[in-house]
Amino acid sequence: MHDYKNLLEWAYHWEKNAPDRRYLTQPMGGSVKNVKTWTFAEALGEARRMATYLKSLDFPEKSNIALCSKNCAYWLLADLAIWMAGHVSVPLFPVLTAETTEYILTHSESKLLFVGKLDPIWGKMQKAVPEDLPKIAFPLAPQNDHPSWDDIVQQNEPLLQPVDRSADELATIIYTSGSTGKPKGAMIGFGAMCQAAAGLSKVISSSADDRMFSYLPLAHALERWLIESHSLYGGIQVFFAESLDTFVQDLQRARPTLFVSVPRLWLKFQIGVYAKLPPAKFNRLMKIPIVRSLVKKKILRGLGLDQVRYAGSGSAPIPKELIEWYLNLGVELLEAYGMSENFCYSHTTRPGQIRAGFVGTPYHDVTCRLSAEGEIQVQSPANMMGYYKMPEESKAAFSADGFLRTGDCGEVDEKGRLRITGRIKERFKTSKGEYVAPAPIENLIVNHPRVEMCCVCGSGYPQPYALLQLTDEAMELIESGGKARVEEELIAHLAQVNSQVQTYERIQFFSVVWETWLPENGFLTPTLKIKRNKLEETFRQYNEEWYEQKTPIIYCGSIDNRTPSGSYRI
């Protein structure tokens, strides 16, 4: 294998050795059939021309250049151009508050902003963008008067001698989602990105014949590693999604061989199947040998997943029952674990080694240990260089001998598989003096078809309670007269959860929150993790009243505040 030191050199490799191989496929709007494709030669050609323009702006060497866009081909091309021109990319999630947008652009001292495919929330976000900050618009960007990508590409010659980038040089600053405060910029080097891609490719035996589908946020480390880095390393074709409305059709176009998602989307797929084939009928058909094979093929083909040979799940635990359901369809969901701070290159489950609730074993070149207090500490070739302009936080993030301190608690089984048991800082004490770790209890609670998300609270009270965000389907049932049915199911689920935890961990009640938790209102991070502090602060005022009610199900707010939440963003 070639010993390239960064992803740019891999990109040049494919440009030279497989110029006509298709690399990117991008829906361009207006029609499902309206797509644009790039070969490696075409993709690198556009990136080189944009790099020429960026160099003409005479920014200081290694300047930070920001990217704000939903996933699209232009995102990857812009990143390549930034690197070719000798600069550092700073991705912004396409769904941020104006305050966070301003903070990242200011803190990173970004010299320019690429503006891409964005939701209407961009109207609020752009108010935080300095007017004098230069901007470049992708073809899919909202209406604007910025210089356009296409015009710049047409007006400039390709940069034939891009800046050489060393392995230990800073490639990108990935700002964490800020679930507990201000986002911190994890500095990821070129070598780290390349080694993480190589390690992933080795584990899943990827090749240029594979296909991937990009829809999880490219601003997050997971998609940067899985899609961008991996595709450049392996010369793998990448397809993008247009919108939620066309998601399944876009997935059917791609028919990916490698597909990774979050548990909530795997659950959505199951719910979609059950909407057409009720559970009782599904289970009956799956017991008939000849019919079983036909049903499996039809379901997977309908989802666009009939060619998947490697399926992954991450970001949250996935219920054992859901793993078994997909196994029954012939899809093995392999859980994994990683952080922005190690570019998601930490642990993964190998085929045939699934254990529900565990995230697998370390990659071959990763070392993991547990501290005396049970903290997971990781030494990975993809560990960050530190947090941008935060020397004290950078020092605190590592042990004296260079292991990343994840802040997660865990345990390891006899086969070396890791289980995440919660965050050290999330533990709280009840009025009885017992410490409660909310994450394991939340994992039990969300393992129910009516529950979308939850947050276990109750610091200083005799027993904890749980804030619930119900699924859209559950809300529709309540609105159509099925409230009693939903309550009955939730009460039974509450009893089931309490039978699996310690006495002091038993949940006293579920509080159903009508208001949808979204990044836009600050209840979720851009990667759809709950902001525990925000939720606790918002609903703490009701605690005394709720505990006094002594009922298992409580409602908070007005159902009018509910909007369809979705489970992923495109």
Residue given tokens 């397809």 in the structure block: 239
Residue 171 corresponds to which amino acid? A
Q: Within 13 Å of residue 212, how many CA atoms lie on the same side as its CB?
A: 28
pLDDT range class, residue 2, cuts 50, 70, 90: confident
Residue 87 CB partners (closer than 8 Å, separation 6+) = 54, 59, 62, 63, 64, 65, 111
- Average of per-residue pLDDT values in the chain: 91
427-561 and 7-240 share a CATH fold: no
Residues 6+ apart with CB under 8 A from 230: 197, 200, 201, 206, 212, 236
How crowded is residue 430: how many other Cβ atoms within 10 Å of its Cβ? 17
- What confidence tens digit (pLDDT) does each residue in 350-378 have? 999 999 889 999 999 999 999 988 899 99
- Dihedral over Cα of 333, 338, 340, 343: its sign: negative
Domain 427-561, CATH among 3.40.50.970, 3.40.190.10, 3.30.300.30, 3.20.20.140: 3.30.300.30
Whole-model pTM: value is: 0.86
Locate all alpha helices (DSSP H) within 472-531, ordered by sequence: 472-477, 483-498
Instruction: Report d(CA 339, CA 179) in Å as an integer.
Output: 13
Spatial distance between the Cα atoms of 394 and 398, rounded to a whole number of angstroms: 7
Do residues 227 and 217 make contact, with C-beta atoms less than 8 angstroms apart?
no
Pairing of strands 310-313, 333-337: parallel
Task: Tell me how far apart the alpha carbons of residues 156 and 159 are, in angstroms, rounded to a whole number.
Answer: 9
21 vs 232: CA distance, rounded Å:
12
**pLDDT at res. 335:** 93
Here the tokens at position 153 are 């590409």
Yes or no: say if 345 and 196 are a contact pair by the CB < 8 Å rule: yes
Residue 560: per-residue pLDDT: 60
Would you say residue 567 has pLDDT above 50?
no
First to last CA, the chain: 35
**What's the number of CA atoms in the CB half-sphere (13 Å) around residue 297?**
5
Beta strands 35-39 and 211-214: pairing type?
A: unpaired
Q: Per residue in 334-349, pLDDT tens? A: 999 999 999 999 999 9
pLDDT in the model for residue 528:
74
Q: Which residues contact 131 (CB under 8 A, 6 or more apart)?
A: none
What's the CA gap between 118 and 138, in Å, rounded?
A: 10
121 by Cβ neighbours in 10 Å (0-12 / 13-18 / 19+) ranks as middle
Q: Which residues pair with 250 in a beta bridge?
A: none
Q: What's residue 230's pLDDT?
A: 97
More confident: 550 or 187: 187
Domain parsing of the chain, residue ranges: 7-240, 427-561
Q: Where are the beta strands (DSSP E) in 297-371?
A: 310-313, 333-337, 347-348, 361-362, 367-370
Tens digit of each residue's pLDDT (9 = 90 or more) over 170-215: 999 999 866 556 889 999 999 999 999 999 999 999 999 999 999 9
| CA dist., res. 76 & res. 229, Å (int) | 10
CB of 187 closer than 8 Å to CB of 388: yes
Cβ distance 84 to 159 under 8 Å? yes
- What is the number of other CB atoms lying within 10 angstroms of the CB of residue 407? 17
Which of 184, 170, 171 is closest to 100 using CA atoms? 184
CATH class of the 7-240 domain in this structure: alpha beta
For 422-442, the pLDDT digits (tens) are: 888 888 888 888 888 888 898
CA distance 319 to 300: 20
The 10s digit of each residue's pLDDT in 57-116 is: 999 999 999 999 999 999 999 999 999 999 999 999 998 888 889 999 999 999 999 999
Closest CA to 250 of 214, 200, 281, 198: 214
The pLDDT, as a whole number, for residue 568 is 47
Asked if 556 and 517 count as a contact pair (C-beta separation under 8 A), the reply is: no
Residue 208: closest CA among 73, 43, 21: 21
- Of all residues in the chain, what percent carry a pLDDT higher than 90? 66
Q: β-strands 428-429, 435-436: how paired? A: antiparallel
Burial (CB count within 10 angstroms: exposed 0-12, middle 13-18, buried 19+), residue 437: middle
Kindly report, residue by residue over 551-566, the tens digit of the pLDDT. 999 998 766 666 655 4
Closest CA to 236 of 247, 227, 245, 224: 227
Task: Enumerate the β-bridge partners of residue 455.
Answer: 467
In 3D, which of 360, 364, 367 has the Cα closest to residue 417?
360
